[in-house]
Amino acid sequence: VEQKPTLENGLSLVGLDVQLVWYQSQEARNRDEAPELISSLQIDACEKVCVSDVLGADCWEGLPELAVYRCQGRLAQCIDVRTRYGAWLRMQESPQSYPDDLLYDEVPINVTLVLGQATKPVIRAVQPRLLIVQPTLLVPQRINVFDAAISDETIDALTDLQVDRAFECLTALRILIPRLSMDAKAEGAARLGLERKLRAVEAEELATAEELRQLSAQTVAAWQALQACRERLQANENAVASEKALAEARLKEDSRCLLKARQEQSRLQGVLRAAEQRALQAHRDKISSDTNRHRSAAETAQQTLTRIRSELATLERAVARSERLVCQAGVQYRAAQAALHAAVSDAEKAFHAALRAEEPVSKKFEFAFLRREEILADLDT
């Protein structure tokens, strides 16, 4: 660059060479590992023109703080499919303008720049336009690129890949020009300030990462506890269901035996009454042999009936015991289910609380990461 850019003495970007370097990942960029130069924009000429000569001049007219410059330069790109960038490029979705082996080309390019001091009145005046065309943050009180455009003739002559590289170079110009207007002392102070901010942000990022790691461990523990509660609940349901099924089976069998015993009791009571009536009739008829025989049959029936009544009482107690067991199983099941459901509910609350506690820390870590990337980008320029 022949001189620092100022609007008072005219702007000179002649000789400026903007280079685009590709890294395989953000981590590789942070370490400056295996950079590959893929494109460059060289400014050969730059002249100030009237605002009225610019497309969309109504957005910029009436602002003496702004100036329009038309620059001519050369856009070069180098693509080697044997490099990591070349291999990555070949895997993209639209390879129609990608080379098969090695490509180096250089094409002329015409760029129109709208520049000016980023003061509050200027920013307010052009705010609607900035919402459309401004892809980078403005640097206060410095010369900024408010708009950058490539002529239609240039775009028509470029391939899709060259158009992408050209607009990336314009974005780099938006970042570079405000910094070119800083003197060496101010630039050094700004860099020291950025380095201090970077150290602070990195320390905050590490602390936040450790806090997030601990919270993540708590979240995992809460999830495991919740799963354990759910497994205990399911196991209890299975065990109680099995016990209840056995108790109901015993109750059914005891009830069947009880019904059979009652039927036998009813039958024997009928036999007993018939024998007693026959014995009474024989006694009235003075037939002693029949009376004795009928009395003996009645006594036998009475003894059998007594035994059946004893068995019936035993069966009734067994049925009552089975009913109590079934009832107790139901009560125990409901109590255990209530306790386990409460435990599951508490575990779910603990899990969701752990997730809620993790969310702001995760956002804080993400913000610190993005802030670090912004500072690194500023340091790169």
The Cα-based distances of 33 to 28, 130, 308, 368, 370 in angstroms read 5, 35, 99, 23, 20
Domain ranges of the chain: 17-182, 212-370
CA 209, 213, 215, 219 dihedral sign is positive
Return phi, psi of residue 376, to 5°. Answer: -60, -40
Burial class (CB in 10 A: 0-12, 13-18, 19+), 237: middle
Q: Which CATH fold would you assign to the domain 212-370?
A: Helix Hairpins (1.10.287)
pLDDT at position 288 is 57
- The residue ranges of the chain whose pLDDT is under 70 are 1-12, 52-64, 92-102, 128-137, 181-188, 190, 258, 261, 264-265, 268-269, 271-276, 278-295, 297-298, 301, 305, 308, 312, 377-381
Query: Which helix (H) or strand (E) segment is 367 a member of?
Result: helix 288-380
Tokens, residue 235: 């196991």
pLDDT at position 223 is 87
User: How far is it, in rounded angstroms, from Cα 307 to Cα 293?
Assistant: 21
User: Which residues sit opposite 42 in a β-bridge?
Assistant: 17, 74
Q: Render pLDDT for 121-134 as a digit per residue (tens, 0 to 9).
A: 777 777 766 655 55
Contact 16, 45 (CB under 8 A): no
Residues 6+ apart with CB under 8 A from 319: 251, 254, 255, 258
Q: Render pLDDT for 53-89 as a digit per residue (tens, 0 to 9).
A: 665 555 666 666 778 888 999 999 887 777 888 777 7
For every residue of 184-208, which 3-state class applies, written as one string? HHHHHHHHHHHHHHHHHHHHHHHHH
pLDDT at position 185 is 62
User: How far is it, in rounded angstroms, from Cα 88 to Cα 36?
Assistant: 12
Q: Give residue 245's Cα distance to chain centre.
A: 44
User: How far is it, in rounded angstroms, from Cα 49 to Cα 53?
Assistant: 7
Contact 243, 329 (CB under 8 A): yes
Contact 350, 228 (CB under 8 A): no
Q: Give residue 194's Cα distance to chain centre.
A: 32
Contact 139, 118 (CB under 8 A): yes
